[in-house]
Structure 1
Amino acid sequence: MKARPAVRRPVGLAVLVLSGLLAITACSGEPGAAGDPRPPARITVQVGADPEEAAVYRSLVSAYQEAGGGEVDLVTVARGDHLTRLSTAFTSGAAPDVFLINYREYAPFVQRGAVAPAGPLLEQQGLKTADYYEQPLKAFSYNGALQCMPQNISSLVVYWNRALFRQAGVTPPKAGWSWAEFVATARALTKGSVKGVGIDPSITRMAPFIWSSGGSIVDDDAAPTRTTLHEPGARGALQAVVDLIGTGATPSKEQLAAQDVDEQFMTGKLAMFLSSRVEVPALREQRGLDFDVAGLPVLGKPASVLHSDAYCVASSSKHQDAAADFIAYAVGQQGQTITALGGRTVPSLRSVATSSAFLSPSRPPASSQVFLDAIPQLRHTPVTPSWPEVEDVIGNQLQRAFLDGVPLDEVLAAIRAQADPLLRRR
């Protein structure tokens, strides 16, 4: 089975999302009165999830309903199709009451009035944001309000195969390892049909190394007007990745066309790859796979990039109170314990993140503390309506440098030419 491509959002999808949202007109929900004898409203919740993730969300919905919550129709969509389905649903007037979305992708929905700010709705449910990690709350705050409620605070980590490390006689990764140690490890693990490391050509994979080396992605994180990947700090980090690829320690273009890095890792063809916590449910299901996680290598100072999804309430929902009730449960103690046990999330609720539900070494990865250790170094990419399109441009151009051998400076010039006008668009 062919895996999803490295750049997981198809070219032009962001344009589809933006154009589809032009048809949206905001309307308020119909809150029920206290003590209303009518049965709870039935809501629809859409999430982007691979099969193993979908099972976790089904468990969450079942627990909510067993705890006395209202009826929930859960719609699970393949991650690569999630935004397209959302856009189509909003355009057709059949938007879900609640949808789960990454912070890098929600701003266009807010801009077009598709989101009812979650902050006030959840305050009515008694939710206290002070109990949650600040970083994802900040990423999901836009136009002066908390728009969506984050369920997780993942970061980019290195997944590594214990068996392949042992077979190659390579020392396991250590906290704070240098880029040079990372490259040496990848090369030592590259033997026969096994490659050392897989790195997708996306800005979410490159950002920590750019920041670690003192570089930046854009000129102003809060109000970007141009990309800065061509400047020395960022360019140096990107060149370091190009040089790593040149050693032969990463999968070829043909190998990636046949299998994505996560599938190569699961089938023993890849000793390490970079991703967020989202991979854990599928990796746990792979029989015989002995894996763990390690922190990112450091080019200068420690850095990592936020990976966080949040529940949003559609402004068109007629059942916003019921939607907020479900979200409060999903991100509360019980809900986050369920998703933590399922392996899907690094809980955004501090009390669950530091509990055995998440940290227990009896369930792989044994070193889940790595995700929490990265929190002080977490940064997020810009939150702006054009960012999904900018990501598409950067990802497709970096692919040319990483997989097609196009000179890096040519690629960086193309990024400036294509991405900068998108950032300046208002």
Structure 2
Amino acid sequence: MTPRSRPARSHRPVRLAGLAVLGLLAPLALAACGAGDTGAGETSGDGAGAAPLTFQVAGDPEETAVYEAIATAYNDTEPATTVDIVAVPSKGDHLALLQTSFAAGDAPEVFLLNYREYAPFVRRGALTPVQGLLERRDVDLVDYYEPPVDAFTLDGELQCMPQNVSSLVVYANTALFEEAGLDLPTDGWEVEDFVEAAGTLADLDGDVDGVYVEPSVIRVAPFAWSDGAEITDDPEEPTRLTLDDEDTRDVVDLLASLQSDGLMPTEEELAAKDADTRFMDGELAMTLSSRKSVPLFREAPTLDFDVLPLPVLGEAATILHSDAYCLSSQAEDASAAADFIAFAVGPQGQSIAALGGRTVPSLISVAESGAFLNDTVEPAHSEVFLEAIDGMRATPVLAGWPQIEDLAEEYLTRIWYDATDPAEVDELLAELDERTRPLFEED
């Protein structure tokens, strides 16, 4: 295939949400110590005269509307307690607001965190482990999928209660697939077929890009795992990134070639219109994301879409995407907060989230029900998410991991869009290794 011509490259801004996490949480230990000990105990528990509970979430309005619905349902069920939603637009804003509120001694009682970001909060004493509290509310962890439960277990305790077990999938514009004469490979496909399809889709029209894969370690990881490679030197006790190892480096080169071969949008195009918007406008045929994109994509009036499994290089593999309800160590009434969390991860709360499209329920019975597996709404093949669980892995849970991810994105962005020869890629990966090694010791 002949690559399309591309304008000159330039750097786009790098997200810094994770880089700030450890610094942002520096005041939390002192602030938490002054908030009263609710570690394994509970206060009143009857909700009588209790102050409203604050629940903080991040995301697009389409995403946060799901949590508004859960809070409303809980408020109707438990009128003695009012759950107030604090919705912030981005992960960076979410983490920054948590830092500010913890430092002020006014943290939200409950908030969502991704498993890749909660370890710093544990190390700073900002969380109350939820396992015992939830067990006393008849929440049985055997009813939930293991990967997210394991990911949120640290120091032998379940720190936060996972709400979802999403995986990375390929979102496909079904109208463009049909126009190109391509079948949807809902039963699986090889990377070679994926790249060929991206080329065919990109050749449809000069205004359509075949695919978008963001330059991040969480996009490299599942392809590396599929090929029998690793992103760290030891999955259990990692001490360094291994993106420069031969096998993993091959995966980095493969994904970067999607850009250099003209199959992905340029930095300039993404700066003018992000990948999600391009996908919704029919200018991008495929994009990789987790379940969180569904509510947004459903709002696009002219978009017909479905989900496909990740293409494989060897064995089927994907990466866990999961958020959990965390309980603040500053909560004055841990019992009331635990009541809300138990509701949110129970059958009613999980069904509301599933119907809203936002989550792949962590509660097995709801994930296997019509609330989630409903082929009358897009995506029609939601079972793709459940079928991926057998090949699902998580990234390391380390206090320094958010910073590691952000530094990896900085360097992978340069590799995706600027590196012109293998020697330059070697230098960038070596520098990334040097800068991230100390962060593995933060734990």
**TM-score, with length taken from structure 2:** 0.92
**Per-residue CA shift, 1:126-154, capped at 9, x if unaligned?**
11111000100000000110000000000
Aligned residues: 421
Output the CA distance in 2 between the equivalents of 1:113 and 1:223: 22
**Per-residue CA shift, 1:37-92, capped at 9, x if unaligned?**
83344211101121001111111111111112511111011123111111111112
Query: Is this contact kept in 2: 1:198–1:273, CA < 8 A?
Result: yes
Output the CA distance in 2 between the equivalents of 1:6 and 1:368: 33
Please state if 1:377 is matched with 2:372.
no
Matches within 5 A, 1:107-122: 107-122=119-134
Please state if 1:18 is matched with 2:25.
yes
Output the CA distance in 2 between the equivalents of 1:189 and 1:20: 50
Q: Structure 2 residue aligned with 1:46, among 56, 62, 65?
A: 56
Matches within 5 A, 1:223-262: 223-262=237-276
Output the CA distance in 1 between the equivalents of 2:142 and 2:392: 18
Please state if 1:65 is matched with 2:79.
no
Please state if 1:422 is matched with 2:439.
yes
Output the CA distance in 2 between the equivalents of 1:33 and 1:86: 25
**Per-residue CA shift, 1:269-303, capped at 9, x if unaligned?**
10000000000001111102100000000011110
Please state if 1:263 is matched with 2:277.
yes
**TM-score, with length taken from structure 1:** 0.95
Change (3 A) 1:37 1:338: closer
Matches within 5 A, 1:8-407: 8-10=15-17, 12-26=19-33, 27-29=36-38, 31-33=42-44, 36=46, 38-68=48-78, 70-80=81-91, 81-190=93-202, 191-405=205-419, 407=424
Please state if 1:412 is matched with 2:429.
yes
Please say which of residues 235-244 and 134-143 is displaced more in the overlay: 235-244
Task: Note the residue ranges of structure 1 that are not aligned, 5 or more in a row.
Answer: none
Please say which of residues 406-415 and 115-124 is displaced more in the overlay: 406-415
Output the CA distance in 1 between the equivalents of 2:209 and 2:284: 5
Output the CA distance in 2 between the equivalents of 1:113 and 1:22: 5
Query: Is this contact kept in 2: 1:346–1:371, CA < 8 A?
Result: yes
SS class of match (2:277): helix
Query: Is this contact kept in 1: 2:170–2:286, CA < 8 A?
Result: yes
Change (3 A) 1:11 1:66: closer
Identity %: 48
Change (3 A) 1:250 1:207: same
SS class of match (1:273): strand
Task: Measure how far apart 1:236 and its partner are.
Answer: 1.1
Change (3 A) 1:37 1:88: closer
Q: Which residue of 1 aligns with 2:9?
A: none
Please say which of residues 58-67 and 365-374 is displaced more in the overlay: 58-67
Task: Measure how far apart 1:322 and its partner are.
Answer: 0.5
Output the CA distance in 1 between the equivalents of 2:271 and 2:22: 25
Output the CA distance in 1 between the equivalents of 2:13 and 2:220: 13
Task: Measure how far apart 1:176 and its partner are.
Answer: 2.5
Output the CA distance in 1 between the equivalents of 2:14 and 2:336: 35
Output the CA distance in 2 between the equivalents of 1:97 and 1:368: 33
Output the CA distance in 2 between the equivalents of 1:310 and 1:136: 9
Task: Measure how far apart 1:17 and its partner are.
Answer: 2.7
SS class of match (2:319): strand
Query: Is this contact kept in 2: 1:333–1:349, CA < 8 A?
Result: yes
Query: Is this contact kept in 2: 1:24–1:113, CA < 8 A?
Result: no
Output the CA distance in 2 between the equivalents of 1:15 and 1:333: 35
Query: Is this contact kept in 2: 1:156–1:305, CA < 8 A?
Result: yes
Q: Which residue of 1 aligns with 2:4?
A: none
Query: Is this contact kept in 2: 1:212–1:302, CA < 8 A?
Result: yes
